[in-house]
Amino acid sequence: MPKPPPEQTGSPSPKKADAKSRAKKADKSLDVRMADVAKLAGVTTMTVSRVLRTPDKVSRKTRERVENAIRRTGFVPNYAARSLVSRRSQIVVALFPTVMNSVFSGTIEELSRELFASGYYMLLGETNFDVEVEERLLSGFMGWRPAAVVLVGSAHTATSRRLLESSGAPVVELWNVPERPFDLSVGFNNRAAAYEMTHALHRWGYRRIGFLNLHYPSNDRSIDRQEGYRAAMAELGIDVTADMELTVPFGMESGSNAVRRFLEASPRIDALFCASDSLAVGAIMGTLRAGLRVPQDLAIAGFGNVELASTLVPSLTTVGVPRGEIGRECARLIRERLVGTYDGPSVVDCGFSIVRRDSA
Amino acid sequence: MPKPPPEQTGSPSPKKADAKSRAKKADKSLDVRMADVAKLAGVTTMTVSRVLRTPDKVSRKTRERVENAIRRTGFVPNYAARSLVSRRSQIVVALFPTVMNSVFSGTIEELSRELFASGYYMLLGETNFDVEVEERLLSGFMGWRPAAVVLVGSAHTATSRRLLESSGAPVVELWNVPERPFDLSVGFNNRAAAYEMTHALHRWGYRRIGFLNLHYPSNDRSIDRQEGYRAAMAELGIDVTADMELTVPFGMESGSNAVRRFLEASPRIDALFCASDSLAVGAIMGTLRAGLRVPQDLAIAGFGNVELASTLVPSLTTVGVPRGEIGRECARLIRERLVGTYDGPSVVDCGFSIVRRDSA
DNA sequence: CAAAGTGATGTTATCGCTAACATCACAGAA
DNA sequence: TTCTGTGATGTTAGCGATAACATCACTTTG
């Protein structure tokens, strides 16, 4: 839990930047209170509060007077006060591994849009694929007494779990479909997706299919994907030798470097299935840079279906993941759970698709 | 301003999802209050508060007792209450055009990391390059009485400006270096960057240099870039004919489509400078797909230096933008301004660089 | 026509914390 | 010794909103 920001030392000597641009500080500040609006409209704060939250409980005439007063004063209700007294904040905490990946940012975008439209605000944190960081963020963010918490994956520290439990807020785990979810879950079956893609590659004529995986200690998704790959290979009766699997860090450059190792091996693999599109794009580029052709010399498949996948030359064969839908579904679950009407299953499977393009 | 979320109807009939996974709701909830900690430690809440915020004002012995009590109870202070009474929240509002672009997400990542480390929490919103959306988000977010507001660009509606003024919070505009900033600003000179890149292309031997711009009504950055391009071309004595400039929506596919128009024209341009890396990557792919070579048949330059730029084959010549640094500087300015020690200029220019690679 | 219901508004008491001031014990100075 | 300063802790009074209940003027109903 981070320390609170330091005290604001009201330094008496005028600062350069102060003099220059903070003249505005002089005027009203955003401190119109509900009481001011109420006085202007000739009612009590309770009536103003009702106009804002349950307008149909206020008579038309009064409502209009109050709305006018709100407009004239530029009043914006203080959410801190609202959260405090109502004992539930409008904040949803969302912790993602990274925002620098359009796979996640697509979900983030939809999620934040939907939440905002429903009157919630999203506090975003980045875990860097590290459950320890997740715990640290969580213990800070819980100070807002969030209305709900959104996480990616099912791997969390014991402390995180305790915090989540004790908060009583709905918790949505994204991006996979766990057997025994912590609370709610929205995602797709990573194992099945990898299994299907492996089979598809085989169907398209590839035999020595390699697998390039992401290495992160607490990433259950990549473990699932590896399992799916291995299961399919076993079923197909193809031996997965040591030089057919590799585990590397995240990023395109990482994929580009990794593919060289596969290209040098012999007998060479004829297809490489990468656990993320970033790796796959890197792998394609690495292959081209080595003077080889994709897919003729090496076929490559990815996972995620990022925007680039369809634009790239050669375009990328990949697993399509419903990232926008995951965000929207997540927002819907939260909304419904919070108003108490949610009655569906705790795990929502949004499915996936095999998108065949030029690279395999 | 969005309506607050609807009331929580305490439905008495047990729900499916409830029974299944909300048993935990039964236990404590996160409602250890400071008073509980205080009682356990045998002090008043004031002492607990001091241990949390100004530990050196508490004797060692007491402090240890209190810290123990905090640990044992799992107490997490309620930030809503804290904000309310201290009249300044630990929330920083940040509105970005989109998170789906690694140019911005790099800044977002650094910004949120730095802010969290300093005890602030970042509320993220997406404006979609639209000042009206920005205004709507802003008027909602101001309810948190943010400690600071971060925006991209200098174009804002009158209502937004009024809101910002009246909040009294520091406002940081990112991504350009305005003549007359609203308050603070961190970025680089878009006009100069485009100017330099145009000159660089000329220096590298290209003559008929086209310009592919982003079209968004309220995007001052793209206007600056266009000006820089035109100024350089004028200086170089090269006529910019109508078929050398194009303005298109955001995205790779958009760039890929746009480049076809340039390729069909005759006489053809020999270089295309794109106002964003997304457009440039799209343009490269479009060119390759048309069976032409980059840079032999058409050289292409971008703007942003995203991760992909260096991995791509051919790698992308582009304007390097210090996105991480912008985020860090922004956090620093906010921090220093809030503790009252900031004394620097209101505009911080982080510079840019011309990154030459294979595409031009 | 009295009793009970209904809709619109007001009153009161917090929510959990912290600012500002008050208190108290004890140290060193006069 | 008495005074005063200093450091550690406590007391009091809200911050700005809302929940829960109270009130009051009108209907409606038997």
The runs of H, that is alpha helices, within chain B are 16-21, 34-41, 45-53, 60-73, 79-86, 102-117, 131-141, 158-167, 190-203, 220-236, 252-264, 277-289, 307-311, 323-339
Q: Is residue A130 part of a domain?
A: yes
Contacts of B291 in chain A (CB under 8 A): none
Q: How far is B322 from chain A (nearest CA, A)?
A: 15
Over range B326-335, report the average pLDDT. Answer: 96
Question: What pLDDT sits at residue A322?
Answer: 96
Q: Is nucleic acid strand C under 7 Å from A59's C-beta?
A: yes
Say whether both B293 and B333 belong to one domain.
Answer: no
Over range A33-44, report the average pLDDT. Answer: 95
Tokens describing residue B351: 């510079």
Say whether both B173 and B291 belong to one domain.
Answer: no
Distance CA A77, CA A54 (A): 14
A322-356 pLDDT, tens digit per residue, is 999 999 999 999 999 998 778 788 999 999 999 99
Q: Is residue A8 part of a domain?
A: no
Domain coverage including residue A275? 190-320
Q: Is nucleic acid strand C under 7 Å from B86's C-beta?
A: yes
Which residues lie closer than 8 Å to B124 by C-beta, 6 or more apart? A112, A122, A123, A124, B94, B95, B96, B99, B108, B112
The residue that leads in pLDDT, B277 or A13, is B277
Four-point Cα dihedral B182, B185, B190, B196, nearest 10 = 130
Distance CA B93, CA B125 (A): 8
Q: What are phi and psi of A321, to 5 degrees?
A: -115, 130
Q: Is nucleic acid strand C under 7 Å from A88's C-beta?
A: no
* Optimal mutation site among A105, A114, A161, A310, interface B, most CBs of chain B within 10 A: A105
Coil vs helix vs strand at A219: coil
Q: Is nucleic acid strand C under 7 Å from B57's C-beta?
A: no
pLDDT for residue A6 is more than 90: no
pLDDT for residue A17 is more than 50: no
Q: Is residue B221 part of a domain?
A: yes
Cβ pair B125:A141 closer than 8 A = no
Q: Is residue A16 part of a domain?
A: no
Question: What pLDDT sits at residue A5?
Answer: 60
Say whether both A297 and A201 belong to one domain.
Answer: yes
Nucleotide nearest to B87 (CA to C1'): D15
Say whether both A201 and A305 belong to one domain.
Answer: yes
CB burial class (10 A; 0-12, 13-18, 19+) of residue A358?
Answer: middle
Question: What pLDDT sits at residue B9?
Answer: 39
Residue B326 contacts residue B107 (beta carbons within 8 Å): yes
Cβ pair B142:A288 closer than 8 A = no
CB burial class (10 A; 0-12, 13-18, 19+) of residue B14?
Answer: exposed
The residue that leads in pLDDT, B240 or A22, is B240
Cβ pair A288:B2 closer than 8 A = no
The residue that leads in pLDDT, A165 or A1, is A165
Q: For helices A277-289 and A252-264, what crossing angle results, to 10°?
A: 50
CB burial class (10 A; 0-12, 13-18, 19+) of residue A26?
Answer: exposed
Coil vs helix vs strand at A232: helix
B306-321 pLDDT, tens digit per residue, is 999 999 999 999 999 9
Exposure string for B297-336, b = 16+ CB within 10 A, e = fewer: ebbbbbbbbbbbbbbbbbbbbbbbbbbebbbbbbbbbbbe
pLDDT for residue B20 is more than 50: no
What DSSP designation does B5 have? P
**Count: domains in chain A:** 3
Contacts of A165 in chain B (CB under 8 A): 24, 27
Residue found by looking up tokens 């897919």 in the block? A295
pLDDT for residue A265 is more than 90: no
Tokens describing residue A45: 């704060």
Distance CA B76 to C1' D21 in A: 32
Question: What pLDDT sits at residue B272?
Answer: 98
Query: CA nearest A122 in B: which residue?
Result: B123
B230-274 pLDDT, tens digit per residue, is 999 999 999 999 999 999 999 999 999 999 999 998 889 999 999
Say whether both A229 and A146 belong to one domain.
Answer: no
- Looking at the C1' of nucleotide D7, which residue has the nearest alpha carbon? B57
Residue A129 contacts residue A73 (beta carbons within 8 Å): no
Q: For helices A190-203 and A220-236, what crossing angle results, to 10°?
A: 40
**Mean pLDDT score of chain A:** 90
Over range B66-75, report the average pLDDT. Answer: 95
Say whether both B34 and B50 belong to one domain.
Answer: yes
One-letter amino acid at B47 equals T
Residue A120 contacts residue A91 (beta carbons within 8 Å): yes
Q: Is nucleic acid strand C under 7 Å from A28's C-beta?
A: no
Q: Which nucleotides of D are covered by protein (CB under 7 A)?
A: 7-12, 14-20
Say whether both A312 and A293 belong to one domain.
Answer: yes
Which among B115, B171, B116, B119 is positioned nearest to B141, based on CA atoms? B171
pLDDT for residue B25 is more than 60: no
Contacts of B49 in chain A (CB under 8 A): none
Residue B175 contacts residue B153 (beta carbons within 8 Å): yes
Question: What pLDDT sits at residue B349?
Answer: 97
For a pLDDT cut of 90, what percent of chain A falls above it? 82
pLDDT for residue B173 is more than 90: yes
B6 pLDDT tier (thresholds 50, 70, 90): low
pLDDT for residue B87 is more than 70: yes
Which residues is B248 bridged to in the sheet?
B214
Residue A211 contacts residue A275 (beta carbons within 8 Å): yes
pLDDT for residue A7 is more than 70: no
Over range A186-206, report the average pLDDT. Answer: 98
SS3 content of chain A, % helix, strand, coil (to 5): 50, 15, 35
Question: What pLDDT sits at residue B4?
Answer: 58
CB burial class (10 A; 0-12, 13-18, 19+) of residue B179?
Answer: exposed
Say whether both B167 and B235 belong to one domain.
Answer: no
Say whether both A66 and A107 belong to one domain.
Answer: no
A48-98 pLDDT, tens digit per residue, is 999 999 999 999 999 999 999 999 999 999 999 999 998 878 999 999 999
- For A311, the closest of B74, B142, B285 (CB atoms) is B285
Question: What pLDDT sits at residue B186?
Answer: 98
Q: Is residue A9 part of a domain?
A: no
Distance CA A85 to C1' C14 in A: 8
**Mean pLDDT score of chain B:** 90
Say whether both B303 and B201 belong to one domain.
Answer: yes
Distance CA A37 to C1' C3 in A: 39
Over range B117-124, report the average pLDDT. Answer: 93
Say whether both B111 and B225 belong to one domain.
Answer: no
A28 pLDDT tier (thresholds 50, 70, 90): low
Distance CA A83 to C1' C15 in A: 9
Question: What pLDDT sits at residue B29?
Answer: 53
The residue that leads in pLDDT, A292 or A11, is A292
Q: Is residue B295 part of a domain?
A: yes
Q: Is residue B5 part of a domain?
A: no
CB pairs under 8 A between A and B: 271
Q: Is residue A127 part of a domain?
A: yes
Nucleotide nearest to B59 (CA to C1'): D8
pLDDT for residue B295 is more than 90: yes
Over range A224-250, report the average pLDDT. Answer: 95
Distance CA B164, CA B157 (A): 11
Say whether both B196 and B313 belong to one domain.
Answer: yes
Q: What are phi and psi of B203, to 5 degrees?
A: -60, -35
Query: CA nearest A277 in B: which residue?
Result: B308
Exposure string for B20-31, b = 16+ CB within 10 A, e = fewer: ebbebeeeeebe
